[in-house]
Amino acid sequence: MPHEIGTLSALLVDDDQMIIQELVTAIDVTDLFMRVDHADNLGQASLKLKAHGYELIILNHKLKDGVGLHLLKEKISPKSVIYTFSSLSDEEIKAAKALGINNFLPKPYIIENVVELIISLVGPNYRK
């Protein structure tokens, strides 16, 4: 589904509503035109990703219904993925990188780091 020129679409996938709110706050600070959806489980996220194209997905590692990497194994490829986690083993990092994830964001978040990462990934094309 095409998006309006200059409008970024993002999907936030986390089962913790406080985390979702932190991410929405960070996105607001970026001063980017952005349509934001969220899902609190892999099933919801999969349906949303299949129905809509997203330029950015912020995906949590551990969700109530599984591991975030399983979503990316479905060959759903947003332009940019930020993978969030509380802890990851070397094997999990290797698996994430094998699926093309290069942007990792440890919890708890430092909002400035989230803002910086989002801006670096999506570039100046989406500025208000």
Domain containing 98 equals 8-126
Residue 9 near residue 3, CB atoms below 8 Å: yes
Say if 55 falls within a structural domain: yes
Provide the 10 A C-beta neighbour count for residue 54.
25
Say if 2 falls within a structural domain: no
Residue-wise pLDDT tens digits, 99-121: 888 899 998 888 888 888 988 88
Distance CA(45)–CA(13), nearest Å, equals 7
Say if 46 falls within a structural domain: yes
- 85 φψ region: left (φ > 0), alpha (ψ -120 to 50), beta (else): beta
Q: Total structural domains in the chain?
A: 1
> What pLDDT score was predicted for residue 126?
63
> What pLDDT score was predicted for residue 34?
79
Distance CA(42)–CA(63), nearest Å, equals 7
CATH number at residue 100: 3.40.50.2300
- Between the alpha carbon of residue 48 and those of residues 3, 36, 106, 127, 128, the distances in Å are 15, 12, 24, 25, 25
Counting as low any pLDDT under 70, the low residues of the chain are: 1-6, 75-78, 123-128
Residue 80 near residue 121, CB atoms below 8 Å: yes
